[in-house]
Amino acid sequence: MSQLNKNQELKPCPFCGSESVELKDIHHVRPSLVSTRINVWIDCPDCPCNMHLNFTDKDKNWRELSVEKWNTRDLNVVPAAAKTGKATANTSHLQTRLF
């Protein structure tokens, strides 16, 4: 499993706001194809939110690409609590973190 350096910080979970998001990677060596497959998971341990990406050893910047994908937010997507105006104690932080 790889650790991120401080320049590659993951944003909090876009759904629950947890800052405990983790990047995990597994490298599968495939001798028959003379390449290594890299599976990357970014998981929030506090809710079911996750992202799975696949790379090969030719993708030298796979870690940076993974962080960039996770940190990209669609500002047109608004959490349900923000749409209804009925923020709960668990979701009231989402509006300030996403926007």
pLDDT in tens, 3-62: 444 446 999 999 899 999 999 988 887 777 677 888 999 999 999 999 999 998 888 899
Q: Where are the beta strands (DSSP E) in the chain?
A: 22-30, 35-43, 50-56
Q: What is the mean pLDDT of the chain?
A: 75
Q: How far, in Å, CA of 67 to CA of 8, rounded? A: 7
Amino acid identity for residue 58 in this structure: K
